[in-house]
């Protein structure tokens, strides 16, 4: 039952993000997280909502938990890096950009990964 409620709330939260309503999305996603704590997909969406609200500390906390739950979540690592940049924690940001690149080398991560010392082949320069 909790899983079904959480899934519906997650979908609603994602819709609100698409509709550019991150504050409302955060409220819905917080409810989803109460239903199913430590669910990676909810944590990632909640982090995105917080980030888009300018709540970078809350976003970082959410993305930190998302990568703790699933260390192979390349997008959560990338987003955590973005949060750390906003919080002037550049060294930590670089670590997560590199991890995102290593987990899934691709165009999306190229600029940030190379900025923080990862070559095209994925190795640290």
Say whether both 66 and 78 belong to one domain. no
Say whether both 5 and 64 belong to one domain. yes
pLDDT tens-digit profile of 36-52?
999 999 999 999 999 99
Say whether both 56 and 29 belong to one domain. yes
Say whether both 23 and 41 belong to one domain. yes
- In the chain, the number of structural domains is 2
Say whether both 52 and 79 belong to one domain. no
Tens-level pLDDT at each residue, the chain (125 residues): 788 999 999 999 999 999 999 999 999 999 999 999 999 999 999 999 999 999 999 999 999 999 999 999 999 999 999 999 999 999 999 999 999 999 998 888 888 888 877 655 444 43
pTM, two decimals, is 0.89
Residue 61, domain CATH = 1.25.40.10
**Alpha-carbon distance values, 88 to 35, 50, 83 (Å):** 33, 17, 9
CA distance linking residue 11 with residue 32, whole number of Å: 10
Domain that holds residue 39: 1-70
CA distance linking residue 75 with residue 106, whole number of Å: 11
């Amino acid at each position: 039952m909790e899983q079904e409620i959480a899934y519906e709330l997650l979908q609603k939260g994602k819709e609100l993000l698409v509709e550019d309503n991150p504050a409302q999305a955060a409220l819905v996603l917080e409810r989803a997280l109460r239903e199913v704590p430590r669910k990676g997909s909810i944590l990632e969406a909640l982090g995105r909502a917080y980030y888009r609200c300018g709540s970078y500390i809350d976003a970082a906390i959410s993305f930190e938990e998302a990568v703790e739950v699933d260390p192979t979540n390349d997008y959560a690592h990338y987003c955590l890096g973005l949060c750390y940049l906003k919080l002037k924690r550049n060294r930590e940001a670089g670590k997560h950009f590199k991890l995102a690149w290593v987990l899934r080398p691709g165009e999306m991560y190229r600029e940030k990964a190379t900025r923080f010392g990862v070559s095209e082949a994925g190795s640290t320069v």
